[in-house]
Amino acid sequence: MKDEDDLDELIEMQGRMCIALDLLESCKPFASMIPEVRTNLVYAKESARGPHDVLAIDGRITVVNGMPHAAGNPKFGASSHMARLLLELRKRDPSIRAGINFANTPSLVVWMNDYCRTRGWIFSVIDRGGEPEEIKDAEGASIPWKAGEAIRAAGDRVPNLFYETGAVGKEPVTVLVSRDPISVVREMIALTLAYQKKQT
């Protein structure tokens, strides 16, 4: 019975990821929100323990002919950084199972602060300037600190949306989290279109 339950979860997860990815790839304005490190969309199993339990886009999401485009298919273990960040946040709020990363600019940060206020979202920041020296250069060591910092800066709550300031050799990005990839992508598209409208 356990194997049947596992199969049902895998079918549900792959289905939601494919629908979410289709929505995202159809949103041309999102191409302008993809950072240089590219975007990934991640979705954790309910019992996720490590990156191998997190579904992500193999090769990430890039821009092709002006449109968002997945380099590969959804695959377990295809993400390291975003998967581990999601897993750390889930230690505080297991209802969060999905996330997406996107670009960060000073003007976007100012706008997102107001956007989150109107949506009733929790907004937070990770100040990389406060990152302990002993974890800066160790591969993967900064992930628990970053998740903890985002929660701490949000008044000990898991934020819906948070960004990190840049560090030497590190591109600053923004992260949006929600309960599943379809919700994440719908929220991401709404945010993108609202920001685009504000710019015109």
Q: Are the beta carbons of 12 and 45 closer than 8 angstroms? A: no
Please provide the CATH number assigned to the domain covering 2-199: 3.40.225.10
Kindly state the tokens that stand for 126: 């990770």
Please state, in angstroms and rounded to a whole number, the distance separating the CA atoms of residues 163 and 100. Answer: 12
pLDDT at site 141:
77
In the chain, where are the structural domains located?
A: 2-199
CB atoms under 10 Å from CB of 88, counted, come to 18
Q: Looking at this protein, which amino acid is placed at residue 97?
A: R
- C-alpha 88 chain-centroid distance: 13
pLDDT at site 5:
74
Kindly state the tokens that stand for 170: 């590190």
The C-alpha angle 107, 135, 157, rounded to 5 degrees, equals 55
pLDDT in tens, the chain (200 residues): 357 778 999 999 999 999 999 999 999 999 999 999 999 999 999 999 999 999 999 999 999 999 999 999 999 999 999 999 999 999 999 999 999 999 999 999 999 999 999 999 999 999 887 778 777 666 667 899 999 999 999 999 999 999 998 666 678 899 999 999 999 999 999 999 999 998 87
Q: φ, ψ for residue 108 (rounded to 5)?
A: -65, -40
Please state, in angstroms and rounded to a whole number, the distance separating the CA atoms of residues 24 and 18. Answer: 10
